[in-house]
Amino acid sequence: MLRKILISGLVVVFPVAYAQDFPTRPVRLVCANPPGATADFVTRLLARHFSEQWKQPAVVDNRGGAAGLIGTDIVAKAVPDGYTLLVSAPGPLTTHMFLGEKLPYDPLNDLAPITLLAVSPSVLMVSLKVPAKTVAELIEYAKANPGKLSYGSSGTGNPSHLHGAMLASMAKIDIVHVPYKGGGPALNDLVGGHVDIFFNPIPAMLPLVKGGRVKALAVTSEKRFAGLPDVPTMAESGLPQIGSTVWYGALAPARTPAGLIKRLHADFIDALKAPDVQESLRSGGAETVGDSPQQFAQFLRRELESARKLLQVSGAKRE
């Protein structure tokens, strides 16, 4: 009996001791988006802070493709030891559940929430070749030229796809969806004029908008963004239905010890409170959150239901 008690005690104590020593080798931060996406921007900010804090490299591993499913699946199937973590936008954790194709993972059962990192409104942009300076002008041009304009997305089911589908549905215009393997490639084609319309979170877009390489027509936030004071909201532009924020969360593989989740959560919160991280996110239009693992889990469940309803309204589907 004494031996059983001692073994039981070791099982309880080990994760705590392990968490205290963590990390003793490089940590892999999987970003389920390619370089250039806003999720990549957030991941690299955190990685830079963690590398200094941990005295171990925090390595960003961009695993874009399949609209974020590849990178998310890697983490869902990883060893739950804290050395493989996920930074993700909503798509792979919510909307993909309702696009008719069985996922290789269960976002609620195969991943352990750590914290909601940040939220950001999106901005509706058009390439310089599109002869529109306002949303009304864009809609008018699209109606006069059905099927001529295209809208890019960071992948089927991601917010950029849903926003574009909502625009087509609410404005009753015929625009062609062009899915990419992430926001970076879609953005490059927008700048190059190969795709006409793109919704994307503000942080990755701000330099291009201010540099005059793309035109910003509206933001999806309730109020105007201070960094783009002359750009109206979608509500001001006559489409209040397209008003939402994109969020980014940190997760670990399911079955990661509770003590280690607690340690990781504390480290992520510490990173989000760092002045350089806060300033970089705030100046880019994002707002830090940093809730508890339990709150983030509840948030994910609510977002799943919201995604289901939004897909019904937008008519978006896997292509």
Identify whether 10 is part of a domain.
no
Same domain, 192 and 108: no
CA–CA separation, 67 and 108 (whole Å)? 18
Q: What is the pLDDT of residue 11?
A: 41
Q: Which domain holds residue 271?
A: 21-120+246-314
Q: What is the rounded distance in angstroms from the CA atom of residue 158 to the CA atom of residue 316? A: 10
Q: Report pLDDT for 206.
A: 86
CATH of the domain at 142: 3.40.190.10
CATH code of 256's domain: 3.40.190.150
Predicted local confidence at residue 13, as pLDDT:
41
pLDDT digits (tens), the chain, 319 positions: 434 334 344 443 445 555 678 999 999 999 998 888 888 999 999 999 999 999 999 999 999 877 789 999 999 999 999 999 999 988 899 888 877 678 899 999 999 999 999 998 889 999 999 999 999 999 999 999 999 999 999 887 778 888 898 899 889 999 999 998 878 899 999 999 999 999 988 887 888 999 999 999 999 988 888 888 999 999 999 998 887 778 999 999 999 999 999 999 999 999 999 999 999 998 888 889 999 999 999 999 998 887 777 777 666 555 5
- What per-residue confidence (pLDDT) applies to 100? 67
**Is residue 231 a part of any domain in this protein?**
no
3-state secondary structure 247-279: EEEEEEECCCCHHHHHHHHHHHHHHHHCHHHHH
Give the 3-state secondary structure of residue 289. Answer: coil
**314 close to 162: Cβ distance less than 8 angstroms:** yes
Domain identity same for 85 and 148: no
Give the Cα separation of 260 and 136 in Å (integer): 51
Clarify whether residues 36 and 105 are in a common domain.
yes
> What is the number of domains present in the chain?
2
Any domain includes 14: no
Instruction: Say if residue 131 is in the same domain as residue 177.
Output: yes
What is residue 144's predicted lDDT score, i.e. its pLDDT? 98
How many whole angstroms from its chain centre is CA 19? 27
CB-count exposure of residue 202 (10 Å: 0-12, 13-18, 19+): buried
User: Residue 79 gets which letter from DSSP?
Assistant: -
- Per-residue pLDDT at 19: 67
DSSP string, 225-254: -TTSTTSPBTTTTT-TTS--EEEEEEEEET
AA identity, residue 131: P
* Gap between the Cα atoms of 57 and 272, Å rounded: 18
Do 127 and 111 lie in one domain? The reply is no
Predicted local confidence at residue 176, as pLDDT: 96
Tokens of 295: 């709150």
